[in-house]
Structure 1
């Protein structure tokens, strides 16, 4: 039991890493609630509450039909699911660990495994939430038809990956200034409540309002997602490659920040925090 296990080749190293990510993912899923079932129900209820609030807001305004020719509830859920996946993944990754924490010092556990575990746990929760809510609506209320399920799923995964990169940027800033990292993460979440454009259709926005949203990759993701969901909608004011390039740029910046932080960070930094 006192002999440290060594990987003799890349296949064993990959297997060990995947096993660590799996166990860390399970730990993150069970950490928030003692019962995994109640933890999933909490995530589902959170998404359902967002949908109900947005539906009530539309009802108060007097909008009861979808701006896109298609199911009104599917239009609402398309924005909520992309927004929740992106923002909650960024929050989970930003709080996944501290480079000065003792658990990172124990091999073979490392920062990459902790980040991957937090991201995979959030993806699992959001996928279950999407499937449950869509299934309940399809079976109990009204049948829905998705024009391109593969493309819609790809956009959901891209929003998840972009959330990982944004969260990694906040995670790299955290050891230098924890308060600034928390503040930026909260500000990013609050801004995207409106700037994500989940309540609007990009094609119907006037050109003088469009610059308020066009900078946001999440705005492009939500609008392009609706192009995959609805056969009658073709996005004209958003681009699919824009969020991809921004995600890759954030990933490179996040790697630079985290590698620099790991090089200069001292355990004593956490003593004054």
Structure 2
């Protein structure tokens, strides 16, 4: 701004000489930066995703540390509520031979990661939003940043809770740590793909899209299978849950956590194929919507 102000002063007073190289610097202020190759384009996109992710993290709360503490507190309250429900029902030990709290946390961590990613991606951007009017920002950057924001918060929350549990209560033991991380990332990725479908529906029917997102999140409170073990589920009830990718992810994650549990009714590859199909469908809807979407659609909302 100082250079711009000086340029106007020099224009108003032509007799005053400008510093050497000053006009070149002023000219660069009005030149839009363009990528020369694919590497520069990838670097620019990654930088935009990073800055937008940081912006999203600071949006909910001005202090990022307090925002993370609130996320951890929300997870702890969720765990305490489910523990109380199990105690009221009379379940005082894990259906799987192992740590009861690890059984509870295995379901809650993956459930919250999945449903929060669905909600974040489904509401990541709108054509009437101010950020979408500024290049080089684009919907892909906003979607990726929304998903990464949830991944960052949930990862810090899970590591903090497991660290405190390991120090204060019982040692945390995982039979297959790599498989646990893979199922955690799969829960996040499948949530992003499902949220992409709801995001494509949103411009056509905003209220219906918001309702469907909420219904999907509430259905997963029960249909995710976090409150029971899939191996003991009767076969006549299996069709109620087998459609849900989160049901397969949680059951497979418990097989990676507990050495004495082997999933028999879920498929580790089902969630992958479901996520890829949902991603293709979401991209198709979003690309089609972008051709017809207009600012006037949201004028009455």
**Fold shared by both chains (TM-score > 0.5):** yes
Are the equivalent residues in 2 in contact too, given 1:147–1:230 (CA < 8 A)? yes
Could you state the TM-score of these two structures normalised by the residue count of structure 2?
0.89
Instruction: Name the structure 1 match of 2:217.
Output: 189
Instruction: Name the structure 2 match of 1:65.
Output: 93
Which of 1 and 2 has greater Rg?
2
Matches within 5 A, 1:196-211: 196-211=224-239
Instruction: Name the structure 2 match of 1:110.
Output: 138
Pick from 262, 267, 273: which aligns with 2:295?
267
Separation in 1, partners of 2:235, 2:147: 36
Separation in 1, partners of 2:44, 2:66: 30
Are the equivalent residues in 2 in contact too, given 1:169–1:254 (CA < 8 A)? yes
Separation in 2, partners of 1:118, 1:103: 13
Instruction: Name the structure 2 match of 1:79.
Output: 107
Instruction: Name the structure 1 match of 2:13.
Output: none
Are the equivalent residues in 2 in contact too, given 1:147–1:228 (CA < 8 A)? yes
Separation in 2, partners of 1:230, 1:105: 50
Are the equivalent residues in 1 in contact too, given 2:127–2:294 (CA < 8 A)? no
Separation in 1, partners of 2:285, 2:243: 23
What's the CA shift string for 1:119-151, capped at 9, x where partnerless? Answer: 111000000010011111110011120011111
Q: Which has the higher contact order (CA 8 A, sep 6+)?
A: 1
Structure 2 alignment gaps of length 5 or more: 1-28
Separation in 1, partners of 2:56, 2:95: 39
Pick from 114, 117, 123: which aligns with 1:95?
123
How many residue pairs get matched?
273
Matches within 5 A, 1:140-219: 140-219=168-247
Instruction: Name the structure 2 match of 1:25.
Output: 53
Pick from 268, 272, 284: which aligns with 1:244?
272
The secondary structure found in structure 2 opposite 1:252 is helix
Structure 1 alignment gaps of length 5 or more: none
Separation in 2, partners of 1:103, 1:61: 49
Could you state the TM-score of these two structures normalised by the residue count of structure 1?
0.98
Report the RMSD for the aligned CA atoms in angstroms.
Answer: 0.8
Separation in 1, partners of 2:298, 2:152: 31
Higher deviation after alignment, 142-151 or 205-214: 205-214
Are the equivalent residues in 2 in contact too, given 1:100–1:265 (CA < 8 A)? no
